[in-house]
Amino acid sequence: MTRTTSSARREFRWPQPLAGNKPRIWYGGDYNPDQWPEDVWDDDIRLMKQAHVNFVSLGIFSWANIEPEEGVWNFAWLDRIIDKLGKAGIAVDLASATASPPPWLTSAHPEVLWQDYRGDTCWPGARQHWRPTSPIFRDYALKLCRAMAEHYKDNPYVVAWHVGNEYGCHNRFDYSDDAMRAFQEWCRERYGTIDAVNDAWGTDFWSQRMTDFSQIIPPRFIGDGNFMNPGKLLDFKRFSSDALKAFYEAERDALAEITPDMPLTTNFMVSASNSVMNYDDWGSAVDFVSNDHYFTPGEAHLDEMAYAASLTDGIARKNPWWLMENSTSAVNWRPINYRKEPGQTVRDAMVHVAMGADAVGFFQWRQSRAGAEKFHSSMVPLAGEDSQVYRDVCALGRDLDRLADAGLLGSRVERAKVAVVFDYESQWATEHTATPTQQVRHWTEPLDWFRALLDVGVTADVVPVRGDWDKYDVVVLPSVYLLSEADSERLRTYVNGGGRAIVTYATGISDERDHIWLGGFPGSIRDVVGVRVEEFAPLGDDFPGTQSSVELSNGTAAHDWVDVITSVADGARVLATYEDDPWTGLDGMPAIVANEFGKGRTAYVGCRLGRDGLAASLPDVLDALGVADAADADAKVLRVVREGEAGKRFAFLFNRTRGKVTVPLDGELVISSKTAVVGDGDAAEIEPNGFVVARSLPTD
Ligand code: GLA
Ligand code: GLA
C-alpha cells in the first residue's frame, strides 16, 4: 500500500546522552570512516574530542561495505569504529544504511532502478538510484534494516536511528510501471471511485475521462510544449511524497519493531527553495525533526537561513529539532561554490540554534580525497587541522557547550507575534506551466514577507499551513494559491474572532483539487478581505512594449502580477492605488485594501511588491491592522528569543548588515563572535557576520 495511513503525529522523543554524560547540544556530523584507512580513525577521534564533538552520523552510504554480497554481513569494521567512538564519549546516530544500493543488487535486479518521465532508466553511478515502489527493493532494504537493528539493538553507544537519507533528493519522481501501479492504488485510496478521480482532475477537459483505475498513468512524456492535466500533476506530487514516506515508514517500522526505545529521524531538506517532499506532512512521521540546510550565497544568506530554520521549527511544532547537515564552507554542487566568509561557520550554526535546533551537524567530518564530494567543505578540511575551518569548528564546539552550561537546553523559540504561512501544496500547484505568469510561484512570496518584516523590526515565525497560524496576533497568507473550504473557513473564523490577516494576490485561487473558486477572486474568502478581483494583469518585458511595472500611490512599484480589483466592500479602506497612464485601465485602481470583518481586520495586497516594496508598505499595513507596535527589534539585527523554564530567556542577536551595529544587551552575555561589549557593559557592537547571545533571568 503506497498511501500513508498513519497520519497521527508520533510522540516527540529526543536522543539521550551516553551513560554518564550530561545532556549537551549535540554536535558533530556525517562520518564516513569506511572511506579511509583505519589508521586515520584514531586521529579522527583525537580531533573530534578536541572540537567537543559528541555525535556522528554513521553508515549512511555504507551498504556495500556492510553487506558486500547478498546475505553476507560484515559488521566487524563498523563495530570497531562504534566502539572507539563510544569509548571516547561520542554517540552514534546510526544510519539504516539503505540510501544507496550496492552494485551486486542493481546488477541482479535492474528492475529496482527508477525511470524518468520519458522512460529512461536512472543507472547506478551516483546514489539513490532506486524506486520507492519496487517490492523487490523494499525487501532488500528491510532485510538490511532488520540486520542493522538486530546487530546493534544492545549497543550502548547508538542513540538514534538515521533512517535513509534525504529521501527524494535524487529519486523524487519515478514513472516506472511499479510507480504506475502504486499511483493507481493511491488514487483508489484517496478517491474511492474512478469517477471521483475524473471529477478531481476535471477529465472532461480534453477528452480524458477514464473508466477504470488501470487507465491512470503517471504524468509521463506528453510532447514538448504540451500541458499536463494540472489535477493529475498535483496528485502525482502528493503521491510521490507519500510513496517515499511509505517507504521510509516501512524502514522505520522494521527498525522500531526490534529497537522500540530508540528515537528515530530522517533528514529533511527544508529551505526557501525546496519543496521536494511535503515536509510538514513528514514531520508527523518522525520522533524528532531533523534538517539539512545549505546556505544561499550572496545577500540573502542570513535571512534565507533564518527563514528556513523558522519553517523547520514550525514543522517541528516548536519541539527541539536537529540540524543534521550544514556546511563549514563551500558546497560542491552549485555551478560556482562560494566559500563562507570568516565568522559565518559559527554564525550560521548559531542561527539554527536560535531557531530551535538543539543539535548541530555538518556534512561531513573529514573531507573526502576521492569521489564526487571531494571539493565539499568539511569539519576537517583537506588542508588538515592547521586550518581556519577546523579552528572555527573547535570554537563552535566550545560555544555550544557554553550555551548548554548556561541552561539553553529545554528552552523553546518564543512564539512571534506574526506568522508567515508556507504551503508545500500551493508551491506544487503554482509550478504548473499554464498559469497567468510563469514568473510567479508561491514560495518567493513568504520569503519576501519574512525579509520585509525583518526590515521593519519584526521577526516572524514561518508556519506551515497545517500549523497553528491562527494562534498568532497577525497572520500573512502570501500567495497561498490553494485554499480548501476548510482552510477558508479557518481564516474566516480567525478574523471573525479578532485575528489580523494580511492576504496577498494569488491566494485562495483554487480549492485543494485546483478547481478555481468562482465569482471573482479570492473566491472563498472575498467576504473576509473585502475585495473582488475580476481578472489578473500580469506584467513583464518578454515582448517589446509590454508593461513590466506599475507605480503605487505609496511610492512603491508592482511587478509580475497585478490583481484587477473592481470593487471593495462597504467600509473597506483603500491604503494605496495604482498611478498609471489612463489607457492601461490601472490608474486609480485599489492596490492595497484594509477591511474589517467581525472582530478582526484584514489587509489585502493585490500585487507583487517584492521585499523592498513590502517593507515600505508595511508601516501603513500594520497600522491599519491595529498592530503598529508589532516591531520590537532594530531592523539591522535578526533577533530571536528562546524561552526556558521559570522565565529564563536567551536573546540571540545577529548583525544583518555589512557594517558594525551597536545594540543594547538583553542581559548577561553568554557567547559572542565578532562582537565587542561597549558602553558600561550594557551594549554590544557587532561586526558583520557577528552575533551575541545574552541571557536574562526573571530576577534581572
Ligand atoms: C488552440 C486550440 C484550442 C485552445 C487554444 C488556446 O487554438 O485549438 O483548443 O487550446 O489554442 O489558446
Ligand atoms: C546532502 C547529502 C549529503 C551530502 C550533502 C552535500 O545533504 O545528504 O550526503 O551529499 O548533501 O551538500
Does any domain span residue 143? yes
Residue 112 in contact with residue 105, Cβ under 8 Å? yes
Residues 6+ apart with CB under 8 A from 390: 47, 51, 379, 380, 381, 384
**Residue 517 sits in a domain of what CATH number?**
3.40.50.880
Cell of 431: 509550478
Does any domain span residue 210? no
- For residue 102, pLDDT over 50 is answered with yes
Q: How far is the CA of 295 from the centre of ligand 2 (A)?
A: 13
**Residue 644 sits in a domain of what CATH number?**
2.60.40.1180
Whether residue 644 sits in one domain with residue 595:
no
- Convert the pLDDT of each residue in 323-371 to its tens digit: 999 999 999 999 999 999 999 999 999 999 999 999 999 999 999 999 9
Whether residue 550 sits in one domain with residue 506:
yes
Whether residue 402 sits in one domain with residue 343:
yes
- Is 127 annotated as ligand-binding? yes
**Is position 325 annotated as part of the catalytic site?**
yes
- Is 398 annotated as ligand-binding? no
Whether residue 658 sits in one domain with residue 549:
no
CA distance 347 to 434: 42
271 lines ligand 2 (CB under 6 A): no
Q: What is the pLDDT of residue 631?
A: 87
Q: How would residue 5 be classed by pLDDT, with cut points 50, 70 and 90?
A: very low
Q: Which residues partner with 539 through β-bridges? A: none
Q: How would residue 666 be classed by pLDDT, with cut points 50, 70 and 90?
A: confident
Whether residue 610 sits in one domain with residue 564:
yes
- Convert the pLDDT of each residue in 33-88 to its tens digit: 999 999 999 999 999 999 999 999 999 999 999 999 999 999 999 999 999 999 99
Q: Report whether the peptide linkage leading into residue 364 is cis, meaning its omega lies within 30 degrees of zero.
A: yes
Q: What is the pLDDT of residue 6?
A: 61
User: What domain range includes position 642?
Assistant: 637-696
Residue 537 in contact with residue 586, Cβ under 8 Å? yes
φ/ψ bin of 471: left (φ > 0), alpha (ψ from -120 to 50), beta (otherwise): alpha
Whether residue 396 sits in one domain with residue 443:
no
Residue located nearest, by CA, to atom 5 of ligand 2: 363
Domain boundary, last residue among 385, 410, 435: 410
Whether residue 298 sits in one domain with residue 157:
yes
Q: What is the pLDDT of residue 4?
A: 46
Does any domain span residue 478? yes
Q: How far is the CA of 363 from the centre of ligand 2 (A)?
A: 6
User: Once rounded to an integer, what is the mean pLDDT over residues 669-684?
Assistant: 96
Best residue among 98, 276, 292 to mutate for probing ligand 2, ranked by most atoms within 8 Å of CB? 292
Query: Which ligand is in closest contact with the Cα of 207?
Result: 1
Question: Global pTM?
Answer: 0.98
Q: How far is the CA of 31 from the centre of ligand 2 (A)?
A: 12
Q: What is the pLDDT of residue 699?
A: 66
The percent of residues above 70 in pLDDT, for the chain, comes to 99
**Is position 11 annotated as part of the catalytic site?**
no
166 lines ligand 2 (CB under 6 A): yes
Q: What average pLDDT does the structure give for the chain?
A: 97
Residues 6+ apart with CB under 8 A from 517: 483, 508, 509, 510, 511, 523, 524
Give, to the nearest 10 degrees, the angle between helix 230-258 and helix 135-152: 30
Does any domain span residue 666? yes
- Convert the pLDDT of each residue in 519-536 to its tens digit: 999 999 999 999 999 999
Does any domain span residue 10? no
Does any domain span residue 267? yes
User: Once rounded to an integer, what is the mean pLDDT over residues 459-480?
Assistant: 98
57 lines ligand 2 (CB under 6 A): no
Best residue among 295, 332, 373 to mutate for probing ligand 2, ranked by most atoms within 8 Å of CB? 373
- Is 165 annotated as ligand-binding? yes
CA dist 169 → 2, 91, 164, 308, 336 (Å): 19, 27, 11, 17, 20
Residues 6+ apart with CB under 8 A from 425: 234, 237, 238, 278, 465, 482, 512
Domain boundary, last residue among 598, 625, 652: 625
Whether residue 669 sits in one domain with residue 613:
no
Whether residue 572 sits in one domain with residue 443:
yes
- Convert the pLDDT of each residue in 532-590 to its tens digit: 999 999 999 999 999 999 999 999 999 999 999 999 999 999 999 999 999 999 999 99
Q: How would residue 2 be classed by pLDDT, with cut points 50, 70 and 90?
A: very low
Does any domain span residue 369? yes
Whether residue 662 sits in one domain with residue 692:
yes
Q: What is the pLDDT of residue 3?
A: 46
Q: How far is the CA of 202 from the centre of ligand 1 (A)?
A: 17
- Convert the pLDDT of each residue in 277-326 to its tens digit: 999 999 999 999 999 999 999 999 999 999 999 999 999 999 999 999 99
Q: Are strands 500-504 and 600-605 parallel, antiparallel or unpaired?
A: parallel
Q: How far is the CA of 304 from the centre of ligand 1 (A)?
A: 41
Domain boundary, last residue among 570, 601, 625: 625
292 lines ligand 2 (CB under 6 A): yes
- Number of structural domains found in the chain: 3
Cell of 133: 515502489
**Residue 155 sits in a domain of what CATH number?**
3.20.20.80
294 lines ligand 2 (CB under 6 A): yes
Does any domain span residue 174? no
Whether residue 482 sits in one domain with residue 382:
no
Whether residue 503 sits in one domain with residue 373:
no
